[in-house]
Amino acid sequence: MAKEKEEFVVADRRKFTAEGDLKTDAPAEPPEPASSKPMPETAAPASPGEHKNEPLPGPPTHAEQAEQHRDYQAANKKIDSILEDQGHKRPPQADVTFERLVVGLYMQTMAQLGMIGEEGAPPPQPDIIGARQTIDTIALLGEKTKGNLTERETGMLQNCLFELRMAFLEITNALTTQPPPGQAPPKK
């Protein structure tokens, strides 16, 4: 079964030269679609839902979602085909599951707490703020999925939260009870 090679063309759509001058053959920008609501004039647009009083845009239609899903699947097949043509073996497909999501967030938090790192490397510096945000994200995920999880998923989520919160407390207690640099620890 012979595969047809697809050709594609790379077009330079940059509007400026390396010196910063406007190119004479720069492509024109497509007109932006008219919005039913004018954007507020701010320094930078806020992300959707950043402020609770701002209305969120409506969700994409069923047809738009179906088209996007088809395009996404086609892009995946194209990438897999390119990799196979280059002699790379495709890794076994790992199903995306709720448990894998929670484990990924758990491992991310442990790394943020400085509890895991590369072997032989100096101990990582904890990112307490990032760890707290990830722990809060896992808790929010638990709240939003309450009643929709299996017993196993619920138990795993609760165990991960318990372990992460305990590790967070351990790290923050250690950081907040250490003497300032250059001072001796208090005598007991």
Q: Residue 29 falls within a domain, yes or no?
A: no
Q: What is the pLDDT of residue 137?
A: 97
**Is 22's pLDDT higher than 80?**
no
- The identity of residue 98, as a single letter, is F
- Could you tell me if residue 68 is inside a domain? no
Average pLDDT estimate for 99-104: 94
Note whether residue 76 is domain-resident: no
Which range of residues forms the domain containing residue 132? Answer: 98-177
Number of compact structural domains in the chain: 1
Closest among 180, 162, 156, 170 to 128, alpha carbons compared: 170
Amino acid at 150: T
Residue 155 lies in a domain: yes
Amino acid 161: pLDDT: 97
Backbone angles phi, psi at 22, to 5 degrees: -70, 130
DSSP per position, 73-142: HHHHHHHHHHHHHTTPPPPPPPPP-HHHHHHHHHHHHHHHTTS---TTSPPPPP-HHHHHHHHHHHHHHH
- The reported pTM is 0.58
Band (pLDDT 50/70/90 cuts) for residue 66 is very high
Residue 29 to residue 22: CA distance in whole angstroms: 13
DSSP-assigned beta bridge partners for residue 22: 16
**What pLDDT score was predicted for residue 83?**
85
Query: What does the pLDDT read at residue 96?
Result: 82
**Model pLDDT, residue 3:** 58
Contact criterion met (CB below 8 Å) for 178 and 152:
no
User: Does 4 fall in a domain?
Assistant: no
For residue 57, being part of any structural domain is answered with: no
In the predicted structure, residue 56 carries a pLDDT above the cut 90: no
pLDDT of residue 41: 47
Share of the chain above pLDDT 70, in %: 67
Q: Find, among 113, 89, 97, the residue nearest to 175 by Cα.
A: 113
Q: Is residue 51 part of a domain?
A: no
pLDDT over 50 (residue 85):
yes
CA distance 149 to 159: 14
Q: What average pLDDT does range 114-122 have in this prediction?
A: 86
pLDDT at res. 91 = 66
Q: Taking 70 as the threshold, does the pLDDT of residue 68 lie above it?
A: yes
Q: Which residue would you say has higher pLDDT here, 130 or 120?
A: 130
Q: Look at 181 and 73; give whichever has higher pLDDT.
A: 73
Structure token digits, residue 76: 């995946």
Residue 129 lies in a domain: yes
